[in-house]
């Protein structure tokens, strides 16, 4: 299966998603918007994974490719291809489905629990967050996860599209990349941990990766070949 990774910044790649793909014998191909890569042909992918980044869905003046990316995501969902959006990717997916994206009432950065409403996930799980925006639930979507500070943490649209506001894919390397690039976000707050606390939470990544792999297995079953 050919999995297309939409990557917005060098330090937010697929991380544990790449481990899953390798274990299943799938091929990863990249569209790196920070390198001005063109969008692929729709026929060049079986599954789409849209990664995160510090920009916002509404930053189209600074990042004009966002509009075309959203249109591509809309087409991918409508064509029935599996689509996974992570953090910014979930916000782009929500926008592609017609929902509003806007700044959350608080930044949420660190290891905090979410409540899941999904059979592939435990009822409660401590996951890694790094986001300042949130979104309305797209019309017709099912809420999959929530937390005290962010009502819409994850959603599913149809059988093939899932958005995750948090980072189930986090690894030591991917976290260190975020800390290095975006450490200025770690200002004291009720829902913001410091770098030491972020690193101390890494043992949670074993269970978040297992949950991610179950989700990816389900999405892959819906791949269009």
Residues forming the active site:
87, 167, 169
Other CB atoms within 10 Å distance of the CB of residue 203: 9
For 32, the token pair is 């790196």
Q: Name residues whose C-beta falls within 8 Å of residue 47's C-beta, 6 or more positions apart in sequence.
A: 1, 2, 3, 4, 26, 81, 82, 83, 84, 219, 220, 223
In a 3-state reduction of DSSP, which class is residue 194?
coil
For 217, the token pair is 């297995």
For 115, the token pair is 């409540």
How many Å apart are CA 147 and CA 168, to the nearest integer? Answer: 15
Q: Name residues whose C-beta falls within 8 Å of residue 54's C-beta, 6 or more positions apart in sequence.
A: 9, 88, 181, 182, 185
Taking CA atoms, 89 is separated from 7, 101, 189, in Å, by 9, 12, 24
Q: By CB neighbour count within 10 A (0-12 exposed, 13-18 middle, 19+ buried), where does 202 fall?
A: middle
């Amino acid at each position: 299966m050919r999995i297309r990774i939409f990557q917005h910044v060098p330090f937010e790649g697929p991380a544990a998603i790449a481990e899953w793909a390798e274990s299943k014998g799938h091929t990863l191909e990249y569209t790196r918007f920070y390198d001005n890569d063109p969008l692929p042909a729709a026929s060049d992918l079986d599954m789409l994974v849209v990664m995160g980044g510090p920009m916002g869905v509404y930053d189209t003046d600074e990042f004009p490719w966002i509009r075309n990316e959203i249109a591509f995501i809309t087409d991918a969902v409508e064509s029935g291809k599996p689509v996974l959006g992570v953090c910014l990717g979930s916000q782009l997916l929500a926008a592609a489905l017609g929902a509003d994206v806007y700044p959350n009432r608080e930044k949420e950065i660190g290891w905090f629990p979410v409540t899941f409403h999904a059979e592939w996930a435990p009822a409660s799980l401590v996951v890694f967050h790094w986001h300042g925006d949130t979104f309305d639930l797209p019309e017709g979507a099912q809420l999959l996860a929530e937390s005290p500070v962010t009502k819409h943490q994850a959603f599913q649209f149809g059988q093939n599209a899932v958005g995750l506001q948090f980072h189930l894919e986090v690894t030591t390397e991917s976290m260190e990349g975020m800390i290095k690039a975006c450490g200025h976000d770690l200002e004291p707050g009720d829902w913001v941990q410091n770098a030491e606390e972020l690193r101390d939470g890494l043992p949670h990544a074993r269970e978040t990766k297992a949950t991610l792999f179950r989700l990816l297995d389900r999405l892959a079953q819906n791949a269009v070949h």
